[in-house]
Structure 1
Amino acid sequence: MATEVLVPVLGESITEATLGEWLKQPGDPVKADEPIASLETDKVSVEVPSPVAGVMGAHAVQPGDTVSVGAMIATIDAGDGAPAKTAAPEAGSTTAAAPAPAAAPQEAGGNVDAAALSPSVRRAILEHGVDPATVKGSGKDGRLTKEDIVAAASNKPAAAPAAAPAAAPAAAPVAAGGERREERVKMTRLRQTIARRLKEAQDTAALLTTFNDVDMTAVIEARTKYKDLFEKKHGVRLGFMGFFVKAACMALKDIPSVNAYIEGDEIVYHDYADISVAVSAPQGLVVPVIRSADQMSVAQVEKTIGDFGKRAKEGTLKMDEMKGGTFTISNGGVFGSLMSTPIINPPQSAVLGLHRIEDRPVVRNGQVVVRPMMYLALSYDHRIIDGREAVTFLAALKNAIEDPTRLLIDL
């Protein structure tokens, strides 16, 4: 007796998704509630659990297919899956024991079945020339992620120079004719949504970006002095984002239009600050929301961001955690960005871009000194935020970061 696996309810107003990857192949044993497939929605990846224990049956759809809520995507057969692992060899085979060693690469590199790898992982394998069987997966259930492939590629030893004369003829065909390949990979639903929303923001809002820089000396000193005590007491590392989120909340109170948005012919103001924080995930950039960040301590902010980052990598962020938000902070500095002009996250009216910290010469009290400096960028909708307000917001943020005591006494 086979049990149908149906696409679960994905959230309010979401009626369809894209099958990202199969986590179980036909014949694999499955437990009740064990994830068997991953679905990609407009915002997050959602795992589909098995409704019963048994053996994975036939796949009704393939990775990349669009499926509707309630649609049947697979079946679960009764049994424990043992026959699938002890299937008899084909008649006439003289190497019945040969298949056993073939399992070794799969154990070393996690799930290396091409059908089970996500498109981004397959693309990374082709780009970097990495054998997936030699890579240990860090994803859920040991699955390979794009980051695993990139890390393995960076750790590969450099190709040794050709010492033997026999090596020269082998390289000749590539140099002469070259093997130029192209691959077409369908955009994930998340990437399509990101592309559409960014283009909508450019087409709808009157975007403008203003810049400032901030001296990070005081924050770095505070972090160095208290990071060990902070981690011991709160169980989380003290980073820079906690300071910037709190400083942004304080500046948003002073300049409420930066925390507002346009709806029709009205301006909607908020007396709270729900801060969207851009987080990198294997499928692309996701933006979970820190609710009522203005009411949180730095420790609570750091714990929330750490949890978001971990679950974004695992693909377990919930749909409700991605909704709303009144202001966004995007930290391109973690990737080495010096300066950028971020695009707002509609319907929000502003986004703060943080960048890398680097030592630069600045003038202090008539003397040229070296200070750890960071560029700040505020992109905003000029329809609702005037230049004076944007500059004032950045100045307030700068003052709070350069003198963190202001965060304690709300100045």
Structure 2
Amino acid sequence: MTEVRVPTLGESVTEATIATWFKKPGDSVAVDEMLCELETDKVTVEVPSPAAGKLDEIVAQEGETVGVDALLAHIADVGNAGPEETKPREETSKQGGYSGSDAEKPSEETVHTNGGGSASSGGDGEEVQVMVPTLGESVSEATVATWFKKEGDTVEADEMLAELETDKVSVEVPAPAAGVLSKIIAQEGDSVEAGGQLAVMTKGGQASGAGTASSGQKSDASPADAGQKSDAGGTGSGASKGEDAPSAKKLMAENNLSADQVQGSGKDGRVMKEDVLKALESGGSGAKAEAPKAEAPKRAPSPAEDADREERVKMTRLRQTIAKRLKDAQNTAAMLTTYNEVDMTEVMALRNEYKDLFEKKHGVRLGFMSFFTKACCHALKEVPEVNAEIDGTDVVYKNFVHMGIAAGTPQGLVVPVIRDVDSMSFSEIEKAIGEKGKKARDGKLSMAEMQGGTFTISNGGVYGSLMSSPILNPPQSGILGMHKIQERPMVVNGQIVARPMMYLALSYDHRIVDGKGAVTFLVRVKEALEDPRRLLMDL
């Protein structure tokens, strides 16, 4: 067995994101053949195969962040497979699934069947276990959110079978081979552990009641089923398009878009969630259909009738985690909020003057978040307790700023962290915020990207909030709430003029931050934003 590890990424580069796997488990590989591609903040790195053999197991999945020398995969050496590889199917699947180790699993080329008849779900084909994939660093369990297939359905290799939810991200489970979904072991709503078994497939089988093996779908499929399979390109008509991502399907349904209105960028033309978002941004016919108005009831419904009209939905793991952490913050910290307001005239003028030149030079738009991030870093130097945390009876002061940027996603609130933001330029901050925001919306943030924050900014203004009291993100001691910019009458040099004003809110842990420190912090942020030149001169 040969290990595939992350190569040296370059000077000062310590981690990368797995962009694409060119091979899947069971594929034969040659020495130096490209296995996968990694992306860093500087370059793209290809990972060649260190030996000839078969790709036995992928340890780190696409979208995960990995460090230098981290384990990516295992390659089984040619000729070194265990004796199980040559055993007939009856001996290796007596327990309802493959009993050998992953390294001993036969590849598709060595599948044995009982006689020369066509494989079917009745047991003529080899049984393949569908397992829970790697869930990410420090994530040990997930909840089965949705099964896209039911027992007896014919599926193609890599077609999406199910979607799992963890407390941070959603994970799709593809079919490990073409065949029939014989048995679902973990039902929707069940909790499963990493490496646990989800289902059993029969390789090369066909659905019970199917007409011919070449039809590729059940003969009794409903029109809705047939339409779904047609979208996925799996009706046996010769189409090769992979199944669209479940999150993309959901978003298309919500916005009345069909798959042919969206250009897919995924493998084999699959439509991904970001493709749907691009289609909507470009003016696609995605306006939501107006729901028909229900007629007013002639009489007040009874409590029993009200219950019939209710819908009970189990909270997702992410929502449960959000609820728990927010309540823990209220129960643990002595949380208090102080408020101020800032005149955004100078920041808006500076942004309007340089935004085109800024975007032309740096390739990213100049927003307000970089100004607020810079202003907070400036204020944290003067009031370091806002950037500290309590550890037992100790106060841990951070001589760096890892800024959390709260982001609302369709799945819930997440807080990606931009590390060492105090040493970044405006353009670097804007690029980092854009990258983390996209990953958050696509559900591709890793656990490492949401840990280690020392201070957080939450921008409720993008939703129209005029004022709010943000809740701390433990173990941090401070969080700044931004709000909507709104013109209000202000007295300037004895004259009443309209000014673009924003309310600011700082929630802080009163156990470590005194009122004087909290007010001073907010005043320094206000001063830096109302006169951005202070940031240049460190005043």
TM-score strictly above 0.5: yes
Out of 244-253 and 333-342, give the one that drifted further.
244-253
- Asked if the contact 1:109/1:136 (under 8 Å) is kept, the reply is no
CA-CA distance at 1:360 after TM superposition: 0.6
CA distance in 2, matches of 1:201, 1:242: 27
2:156 corresponds in structure 1 to 29
Once the two structures are TM-superposed, the CA of residue 380 in structure 1 deviates from its matched residue by: 0.3
Q: Which residue of 1 aligns with 2:298?
A: 175
Q: Superposition pairs for residues 307-346 of structure 1, below 5 Å?
A: 307-346=435-474
1:223 maps to which of 351, 356, 360: 351
Name which of 300, 310, 315 aligns with 1:187.
Answer: 315
Deviation (angstroms), 1:346: 0.5
In the other structure, the counterpart of 1:402 is: 530
Distance 2:285 2:310 in 1: 23
TM superposition shift of 1:27: 2.0
Q: How does 1:51-66 map to 2 (within 5 A)?
A: 52-55=176-179, 57=181, 58-66=183-191
- The count of corresponding residues between Structure 1 and Structure 2 is 376
Q: CA 1:284–1:300 in structure 2 vs 1: closer, same or farther (change >3 Å)?
A: same
Partner of 2:168: 43
Distance, in Å, in 1 between the alignment partners of 2:193 and 2:224 is 40
Asked whether the 8 Å contact 2:337–2:507 carries over to 1, the reply is: yes
- Paired residue for 1:166? none
Q: Judge conservation of contact 1:275–1:328 (CA < 8 Å) in 2.
A: yes
Q: Structure 1 residue 366: deviation in Å?
A: 1.2
Match of 2:56 in 1: none
Cα distance in 2 between the residues matched to 1:71 and 1:207: 41
**How is 1:4-403 mapped onto 2 (pairs within 5 angstroms)?**
4-22=129-147, 26-31=153-158, 36-50=161-175, 52-55=176-179, 57=181, 58-79=183-204, 83=213, 86-87=216-217, 89=219, 103=226, 134-136=256-258, 141-142=270-271, 155-157=288-290, 171=295, 174-176=297-299, 180=306, 181-403=309-531
- SS for the counterpart of 2:154 is coil
**Greater mean alpha carbon deviation, residues 373-382 or residues 98-107:** 98-107
Give distance in 2, aligned partners of 1:109 and 1:177.
45
CA contact (8 A) 1:244 1:401 kept: yes
Displacement after TM superposition at 1:78 (Å): 3.0
> SS at the partner of 1:30?
coil
Please say which of residues 99-108 and 329-338 is displaced more in the overlay.
99-108
Aligned with 2:145: secondary structure?
Answer: strand
Q: Structure 1 residue 133: deviation in Å?
A: 9.5
1:18/1:64 contact within 8 Å kept = yes
Letter of the aligned partner of 2:465 in structure 1? S
* Contact 1:208-1:379 at 8 Å conserved across structures: yes
Is the contact between residue 472 and residue 478 of structure 2 (CA under 8 Å) also seen in structure 1?
A: yes
Distance 2:312 2:189 in 1: 12
Q: Following the alignment from structure 1 to structure 2, what is the Cα–Cα distance between the partners of residues 133 and 307?
A: 25
CA contact (8 A) 2:136 2:446 kept: no
Structure 1 stretch displaced more, 75-84 or 224-233: 75-84
- Aligned CA distance change for structure 1 residues 46 and 247 (closer, same or farther; 3 Å): farther
Structure 1 position 409, deviation (Å): 2.8
Can you list the C-alpha shifts for 1:158-210, whole angstroms capped at 9, x where unaligned?
Answer: 869xxxxxxxxx947x4346564011111111111111111111111101000
Q: Evaluate the alpha carbon distance shift between residue 177 and residue 279 of structure 1 in structure 2; reply closer, same or farther with a 3 A threshold.
A: same
Which residue of 1 is the match for residue 35 of structure 2? none
Q: Which AA in structure 1 matches 2:365? A: R
Post-superposition Cα deviations, 1:269-317, rounded to whole Å, max 9, x if no partner, equal: 1000000111111110001100111111111111111112212121111
The 1:297–1:74 alpha-carbon spacing in structure 2 relative to 1, beyond 3 Å, is: farther
Shift in Å at residue 17 of structure 1? Answer: 1.4
C-alpha distance in structure 1 between counterparts of 2:185 and 2:370, whole Å: 46
Contact 1:105 1:133 in 2 (8 A): no
Structure 1 unaligned residues grouped into runs of 5+: 91-97, 111-115, 125-129, 161-169
2:102 alignment partner in structure 1: none
**Conserved in 1, the CA contact under 8 Å of 2:470 and 2:479?**
yes
Letter in 2 for 1:39: L
8 Å contact kept, 2:133–2:194:
yes
| Paired letter, 1:389 | G
- Deviation digits for residues 224-272 of structure 1 (CA, Å, limit 9, x no counterpart): 1222222222222211111111111111111100000101000011000
SS of corresponding position for 1:225 = helix
Distance 1:84 1:381 in 2: 66
Secondary structure of the residue aligned to 1:228 is helix
Which amino acid is 2:298 matched to? Answer: A
Distance 2:185 2:337 in 1: 48
Q: Greater relative contact order (Cα 8 A, min sep 6): structure 1 or 2?
A: 1
What SS is found at the alignment partner of 1:385?
coil
Residues 1:210 and 1:152: Cα distance change in structure 2 (over 3 Å): farther
Larger helix proportion, structure 1 or 2? Answer: 1
Give the Cα separation in 1 of the matches to 2:517 and 2:398.
16
Q: 1:240 to 1:196 in 2, by over 3 A?
A: same
Aligned letter for 1:228? Answer: D
The letter for the 2-side match of 1:54 is A
SS at the partner of 1:10?
Answer: coil
Distance (Å, rounded) in 2 between the aligned partners of 1:84 and 1:392: 74
Would the alpha carbon gap of residues 6 and 158 (structure 1) be closer, same or farther in structure 2, given more than 3 Å must change? closer
Query: CA–CA distance in 2 between the matches of 1:199 and 1:101?
Result: 43
Aligned partner letter, 1:89: S
Which sits farther off after the overlay, 191-200 or 301-310? 301-310
CA distance in 1, matches of 2:217, 2:172: 29
1:23, CA displacement in angstroms? 5.5
Q: Structure 1 residues 372 and 319, CA, compared in 2 at 3 Å: closer, same or farther?
A: same
Matched letter for residue 193 of structure 1:
T
Indicate how the Cα distance of structure 1 residues 328 and 23 shifts in structure 2: closer, same or farther if over 3 A, else same: farther
